[in-house]
Each structure stands twice: as C-alpha cells, then as structure tokens.
Structure 1
C-alpha cells in the first residue's frame, strides 16, 4: 500500500512545468490585480492538482495533465454573433464557437465582461468535467480580484 502511494506521489511530481505566456500590454495596476488573483486561485480544480508553471512569474496558473491553463490579462477576443456566454457561480465566460461545435476540441473560456480579462483553456481530454471544475473552481477568485464591467447578455 505504501509503495503504491509513493509511486503515485512521485508520478504526480514528475510532470514538467507548464509554459504560460503572460499578456505583454498590462498596466501596473492590472499586473498587481493578476498577481493577487493568481495567489488566490485554488490548489485543485476538481481532482486536478495545481502544477508549476514556466516562467514561474507568468501571470497564470495550471492544473492537471494535460493542463487546464488560466491566464490573466490580454485583449478581448473577437466574438462571433453566436458566441455563447455561460455563467458558473456568478461569473460569465464566453465560449468560442469552435469548441461548441467540436467535442474533440480544446475549450477556450474568456471572462470578456471583466477587467482584467481571464482566459481559461481546457484541453479536449478534460471535457466536459474539466470545464465545470474550472469555471466553478475559479469563480470566487475572479469575482474577488477582477472588476465586472458587464455580465452575460
């Protein structure tokens, strides 16, 4: 039993850091907001453990393998007229059309109505439970650290 636990722990620790790209054009205030949000996100999303990221000071976080990746800041994406806004625990996320049509695609969720913007990419392998875990698990930190400009319509 103990050897199985040790093997599981070693396997869980062996994952390489996840590369996260930070937004380049953030104001100093938005950078501070993002740092506070990242410090406040949970250590787990569902049963997915938080992973190390590269570079360590990137404005994002990652969980699981393949990793669900959250980034803070950046530009709002161009949304089609048919883009869907889903609310989870009071936070609205726009979902890209491609992932709605193709169950085998990664899902990109964007808090377009918040400042700064939060983007969460859920790998196709983590669907559908990973989407639910990410939106529910991140809601409190997003509400606490970002400003709601406009909610889902």
Structure 2
C-alpha cells in the first residue's frame, strides 16, 4: 500500500505542475497565463483572434482557460497561441535561432522536455506559439497561422 502512495504522489504533483504551467497537451481545460499588453497591442490581438483558423495542423480549435481574445489553442493544448506577450530576452541574442513561415519571421526557442516555442518578430505585437513535443521538428502550424498574423498584426517599422 505504501508503494502505491509513493508512486501516486509524484504523479499527482506532476499533474498539478503541468496544469499550473499550462503545459498539458491532453487537457483542454488547462489554464494558461493571459498576457497584459498595452491597449494598442491588445487591439491588434483582438483583430488577430477574429482571423485565427478553426484548424491548425489538422487539429480543431480548443481554446484554453481562461477564455480571452489574447489566447487560442488547437488540439487540446497541442498548439497554444498567446498574443501581446513581452519581448523575449532571447530576441536580443545574436546567436538566437529563427525561422520564416509564409512571410512571418519567428524566434525559435527549444524547451526542455517539450516542443518548441516561437515568437513573432518584426511585428507591432509579439505573438507566441507553443507547440507540444509532436511538433519538435515541424513548423507547419506556423504556416497555418501566418495568414492571420500578417492580416491582423502589421510589421513594425
């Protein structure tokens, strides 16, 4: 009986940590931190929210909690978008890696134990897209999102 308790405590603790971090790829009700951008950026993010596709990489839309025009999701947390995030510190690193997907440039950040995180560059608002492990070597979701980003979030001058 005690060995069962020993196993279940770490599993329960891990589940709580994943839910708190918004990293669960199987829980549509996982919560994420909603960004708090300035009003101008929030307006761009609201416009982006209206342009976002219903499917990305073949996954249906399933927005995370709490509901907000600043966040969206597909595939029960497999793909999570947050608009109006702060400029990532890595963006100033000349060694940082980036990708271009259908006319939108993205900073690539590899996350240990999870899939990549991308943040748009050269746009009036920063758009962050976190992908779970199945997209570790696949930027395809960025192509699906590029049209909406280009339409709603203009390039910065």
Calculate the TM-score normalised by the size of structure 2. Answer: 0.73
RMSD: 2.1
1:10 maps to none
The answer to whether the 8 Å contact 2:49/2:72 transfers is yes
- Measured in 1, the distance between the counterparts of 2:61 and 2:30 equals 10
The answer to whether the 8 Å contact 2:46/2:69 transfers is no
- Measured in 2, the distance between the counterparts of 1:77 and 1:121 equals 13
List alignment gaps of at least 5 residues for structure 2.
1-25
Deviation at 1:123, TM superposition (A): 0.9
Matches within 5 A, 1:4-153: 16-24=28-36, 26-57=37-68, 59-79=70-90, 80-96=93-109, 98-99=110-111, 105-129=114-138, 131-132=139-140, 134-149=141-156
More displaced 10-residue stretch of structure 1: 112-121 or 75-84: 75-84
List alignment gaps of at least 5 residues for structure 1.
1-13
The answer to whether the 8 Å contact 2:28/2:77 transfers is no
Deviation at 1:15, TM superposition (A): 5.4
Calculate the TM-score normalised by the size of structure 1. Answer: 0.75
Would you say how many aligned residue pairs link Structure 1 and Structure 2? 130
The answer to whether the 8 Å contact 1:21/1:58 transfers is no
- Measured in 1, the distance between the counterparts of 2:46 and 2:152 equals 9
Deviation at 1:82, TM superposition (A): 1.4
